[in-house]
Structure 1
Amino acid sequence: MVQIGKIWLTDTAVWIQTADGRKACENFEEYPRLRYATKQQRENYETDAFGIHWPELDEDLSFEGFFHKRKETTLYKLFIAHPELNAAAIARRLGMGQSLLAHYINGTKTLTPEREKLILTEIKKIGQELATII
C-alpha cells in the first residue's frame, strides 16, 4: 500500500507525494468527470488508505494507480469515450464493488473474458433500456 504524505490540486492535475518523497500526478484531462468539474467540485474530495474519491462527481483514483502505467483496456476506452456512464451504478447493477470495477476499468486488476463479457452485457442492457424511452 502506498503511504501518502500530501495531496494537492493544480489547475490541470491532482498531485500526490508519498511518505518517502515520491511525487506523481493524474491529469484532469484524462478523466471526463474531473475535466468538466468546477474548481469547487474538484476540491470536494475524500481520501482513505487506498485513494481519492469525489462523491459529487462519482470519480475515484487509487494511489497505486498514480505510479502504474495505465493499460487502455476495452472498459477504459468505453468509460473515457462515454463519461455519462456511471461506474458506481453499473457496479451496483452487477452486485460488484465499485472499487473492483474501477480497478478493472483502469487495468490495475486482471479482467477475465467472462467477467468482461458480463460487464459489457450489462452496459448494453442499459443502452437497450434507454433506447425504449420515448
Structure 2
Amino acid sequence: MQRDEIEKIEPVSNGLKLTAKNGRLATLHYKDFERLKSATPKQRLDYRISFEGLRWNDLDEDISFESIFNPEQFPLKLSSKLKPINMSEVARRLGIQQSLMAAYMNGSKHPSEKRKKAILDEIHKIANELLSI
C-alpha cells in the first residue's frame, strides 16, 4: 500500500486511525511500538507521510502502511527482542558518541583503520544476532 491509496489519517485515543481510499480501515496502536508507546502526545502527532508509510523523525521510527493494514503478515515483534537497530545503537555499543558516528557517516570525519574495523565488526555482530532470531 502506498501514500496515494490513503484517504485519511486521524488521531484516536490509542493511536492513529487510517482510512484507505478503498474503504479499508486500520488502527496503528501506539502500544505496539516501543518508541511510540513511550513518546509524548506531541511527539506521536509529529509524523510525516512518506511514500510507503509514516515517519517520526524525532523518534527515528518508520512504520509501513502495509504493516498497519496487514498486521498478520508482520507477526514478529522485534522490538521486544532487540533494541532499535541504527547507527546510534552501533555507536552506543562501541562506546563512542553518536555525534562522532554521524560525522563518520556524513564524511566530515574519517575513522582510523582500527575504528573502521571495530564498526564493521559490530555491524556484523548485530547481523548475526538478527539471524539467530
Fold in common (TM above 0.5): yes
Identity of aligned pairs, percent? 26
Structure 1: unaligned runs, 5 residues or longer: 94-117, 126-134
2:14 aligned partner, one-letter code:
T
- Per the alignment, residue 89 of structure 1 pairs with 87
- Per the alignment, residue 43 of structure 2 pairs with 41
For 1:1-134, what aligned pairs fall within 5 Å after superposition? Answer: 1-2=1-2, 3-68=5-70, 69-73=72-76, 76-77=77-78, 79-82=79-82, 85-89=83-87, 121-122=125-126
- C-alpha distance in 2 between matches for 1:88 and 1:8: 29
Q: Secondary structure of the residue that 2:58 maps to in structure 1?
A: coil
Q: Secondary structure of the residue that 2:13 maps to in structure 1?
A: coil
Judge conservation of contact 2:7–2:20 (CA < 8 Å) in 1. Answer: yes
Cα deviation, residue 67, structure 1: 2.0
Distance 1:91 1:4, change over 3 A: farther
Q: Secondary structure of the residue that 1:87 maps to in structure 2?
A: coil
Distance 1:119 1:16, change over 3 A: farther
- C-alpha distance in 2 between matches for 1:46 and 1:4: 13
User: TM-score scaled to structure 2, two decimals?
Assistant: 0.59
Give CA deviations for 1:90-125 in whole Å, capped at 9, x if unaligned.
7989xxxxxxxxxxxxxxxxxxxxxxxx97822789
Q: Which has the higher contact order (CA 8 A, sep 6+)?
A: 1
2:126 aligned partner, one-letter code:
E
Distance 1:122 1:49, change over 3 A: same
- C-alpha distance in 2 between matches for 1:10 and 1:120: 40
Structure 2: unaligned runs, 5 residues or longer: 92-121
1:20 aligned partner, one-letter code:
N
User: TM-score scaled to structure 1, two decimals?
Assistant: 0.59
- C-alpha distance in 2 between matches for 1:11 and 1:42: 11
Judge conservation of contact 1:44–1:54 (CA < 8 Å) in 2. Answer: yes
Bigger-Rg structure (1/2): 2
- RMSD over aligned Cα atoms: 3.1
Query: Alignment length, in residue pairs?
Result: 96
Give CA deviations for 1:23-76 in whole Å, capped at 9, x if unaligned.
101211111110111110011001122000001011111001112215443xx3
